[in-house]
Amino acid sequence: MKKDYIDVRDFSREELETLVELSGVVKKAHKEGALPDLLYKKSVALIFEEASTRTRISFEVAMTLLGGHGIYIRPGDIHLGKRETIGDTSQVISRMCDGIVIRALYYSDIAEMAKYASVPIINAMTEDVNHPAQILCDVFTMYEKSGRTKGLNLVYVGDSSQGDPDKGIIAAIICRDLLRISARMGINFCIASPKEYQIEEEPLRQARRDAEKSGAKIVVTDNPKEAVARADFIYTDTWSWYGMGEEEIKRRDKILKPKYQINSDLMKAAPPHAKFMHCLPALRGEEVTDEVMDSHQSIVFDEAENRLHTELALLIAFIGRNFVLPPEEKKTKENKYAEEIDKVLEKLS
């Protein structure tokens, strides 16, 4: 398997399913207080070019739970690609750390770091392309709630357009990455967006090629009520961000709020079993109402908690997978989980 986790398209459906399975094993071990120290004395650089809540906390806590050390490098601590090339920085950190977790403005910077690194790289989000750590968590959450992935009906409602990070308009990266992983894993994916903020043809072409192999159905519509009519899971993300111009925010509210806000009226158009998802942070009262966020159909906080468990799985799979099992006579609860984790990891070789 590829040494880096920077794009879900680098992995087969079977490999992604194994990462979901591993997330379940480590979650169970953590809940039982029996998670083994599989990254004991290992250090991982946590490079963040942007502020972060769930991603930063989940990776840092995960490193501690696994017996390792996460070195948080906040925005401005290093001059990534400015006073030193990304390649040079990557090689230096590789000499000192066992892995690199990085949140960057541009996917090209993470790809450049992976090119020169001799240790595994994990993509903790780019603002222009993807967020593979988040969407692995989303698939794991759906699997946990339904017991399956293939054939699920996932509906994304809201902005799905490319955006322009240089103008403060971030690309709809969650929608696009959900499209990628759904097409790989056989999850039916419907995007409901107004024509002004609709996904372009190129990412759809790429996804439909994968969908032909997995059996997934990919649909784009501007009718959200029709889209959610058969949904198992309904997902949205914020459509305005800090730094976006006031005029653009007003324009988006005028176009998106009347039809594409996730409110009780839209949820009534979905089956009673449909669950609501959001990667957070949510702008309550804009893309989603309090009534939905705090309802029995909302699983947003289960989803947020699962960031920790999928981060544990990613760190084990890509950085700590070469751990040595203890001798037969030292069978503790933690060691039994280490054996179970080892059996799952064998599928990734």
Q: Which of 138, 180, 279, 321 is catalytic?
A: 279
Q: Which of 13, 54, 56, 103 is catalytic?
A: 103
Q: Residues 194, 200, 204, 205: what is their CA dihedral angle, to the nearest 10 degrees?
A: 150
Do the beta carbons of residue 187 and residue 149 sit within 8 Å?
Answer: yes
Q: Which of 128, 237, 261, 278 is catalytic?
A: 237
The answer to whether 131 is a known catalytic residue is yes
Q: Which of 56, 252, 307, 321 is catalytic?
A: 307
Do the beta carbons of residue 174 and residue 131 sit within 8 Å?
Answer: yes
The answer to whether 134 is a known catalytic residue is yes
Burial (CB count within 10 angstroms: exposed 0-12, middle 13-18, buried 19+), residue 254: exposed
Burial (CB count within 10 angstroms: exposed 0-12, middle 13-18, buried 19+), residue 164: exposed
What is the C-alpha to C-alpha distance for residues 124 and 55, in angstroms, rounded to an integer?
Answer: 7
Q: How many CA atoms lie within 13 A of 288 on its CB side?
A: 25
Q: Which of 13, 54, 56, 131 is catalytic?
A: 131
What is the C-alpha to C-alpha distance for residues 24 and 192, in angstroms, rounded to an integer?
Answer: 30
The answer to whether 103 is a known catalytic residue is yes
Q: Which of 4, 134, 177, 261 is catalytic?
A: 134
Determine the longest span between alpha carbons in the chain, in angstroms. Answer: 68
The answer to whether 230 is a known catalytic residue is no
The answer to whether 198 is a known catalytic residue is no
List the catalytic residues.
103, 131, 134, 237, 279, 307
